[in-house]
Amino acid sequence: MKGYVILENGKIFEGVFHGEEKEVLCELVFTTGMTGYAESVSDPSYEGQALVLTYPMIGNYGINREDTESDRPWISALIVRELSPYASNYRSEENFSDYLARHGVPVISGIDTRAITRQLRTHGTMNALITSAKPGAPESRLGEIKNHRLKNSVLRVSRQRKEVYGQGSRHIALMDFGAKDNIIRSLVHRDCTVTVWPWDTPAGTILDSEPDGIMLSNGPGNPKDCAPALPHIRELMESLIPVLSICLGHQLVALAAGFETERLPFGHRGANHPVKDLDTGRIYLSSQNHGYCVVEDSVDQAMAEISHINVNDGTVEGLRFTTLPVSTVQFHPEASPGPRETAYLFDDFLSLVDRCKSGAALQVEAV
């Protein structure tokens, strides 16, 4: 069965449709990782998006629950060059194509994914219609495709009730805007009890649980859609409990502080994005998945300093507040997929938590 990807600029790509016959109207994005498709498709940050994988062979090592970042795929559709019909890996629990079909995620293979990627890099992130129906007069659908908007994605991916993981000596409160499982695993592995709270939980409720540290997770969409959470985030920041925020959490802390965010032309998605630590000058490879960034000129230097930048385009990749124990990073120290070079940020954050927990004098520093 043939399948079609119709971009909002009128370009049409034809391939082979896999899965349940249906139309999907979505935002189209690409990721450049050579591996890590299991982690990517199950990352809640991709909610409402069709994912183009630039690496040509996908599915050849199958999928297993240990590698996924949630209990289901969150992508709306998958676009690949070649979809392997079988898995060749001893850790595989299921064929990748069967996993996607079981969850109702359509796949189109046989597509020149790098040609689509060039379209997105040239024209910016675009909407697309994924369909198995031959487009007779695609121009009649372009208005519908262009007008599609992702809204309130966080509501669909955040937990609806409090959940607790681990039995460690440190108590970390995690605000869930679409948290990847490996954030939780990384904390539990480091002797933490992690209480995961829904995205709109009042600050007072979180503070009443007496956390030793607070984290804000990654998540999908425009950070300004989470405006109701900003007063609570501001209150948590002012509590003097150490805070570390990742990806969408980084953007939300910036908005809570009065800074601005903006949409990137085609986002940063992949496992090989270089970031520079401005304190040490050291370059790290990082895993990234975001379509928005903090506006550099909006950062009030009296409140916070930029700690990391993206080597490719110079955008803000981290903030360190000068009078509060609050640090943020735009990239993913938990990786999954990608390099683990920045996992030390968890250790530095927990060292600060331990010092504050022991009653040591608070000294704001990098994490």
CB-CB contact of 218 with 247 (8 Å): yes
Per DSSP, the three-state class of 62 is: coil
Tokens coding 143: 């208005």
Beta carbons within 10 angstroms of residue 351's beta carbon? 13
Choosing from 26, 192, 226, 247, which is the catalytic residue?
Answer: 247
**Could you give the CA distance from residue 327 to residue 321 in angstroms, rounded to a whole number?**
6
Tokens 């379509």 identify what position?
A: 291
Backbone angles phi, psi at 277, to 5 degrees: -80, 115
Choosing from 226, 308, 332, 356, which is the catalytic residue?
Answer: 332
H or E element in which residue 173 lies: strand 170-176
Q: Spell 39-63 as b/e; 16+ CB within 10 A means b.
A: bbbbbbbbbbbbbbbbbeebbbbbb
Choosing from 26, 171, 334, 356, which is the catalytic residue?
Answer: 334
Beta bridge partners of 195: 164, 173
Backbone angles phi, psi at 45, to 5 degrees: -65, -15
Per DSSP, the three-state class of 180 is: coil
Task: Give the Cα-Cα-Cα angle 71, 72, 78 (nearest 5 degrees).
Answer: 150
CB-CB contact of 111 with 81 (8 Å): yes
Concerning whether 26 is annotated as a catalytic residue, the answer is no
Tokens coding 28: 């189209």
**Could you give the CA distance from residue 9 to residue 126 in angstroms, rounded to a whole number?**
8
Per DSSP, the three-state class of 366 is: coil
Concerning whether 247 is annotated as a catalytic residue, the answer is yes
Concerning whether 210 is annotated as a catalytic residue, the answer is no
Which 8-state DSSP code applies to residue 80? -
**Total number of residues shown for the chain:** 367
Q: How far apart are the first and last CA of the chain?
A: 52
Supply the residues annotated as catalytic: 247, 332, 334
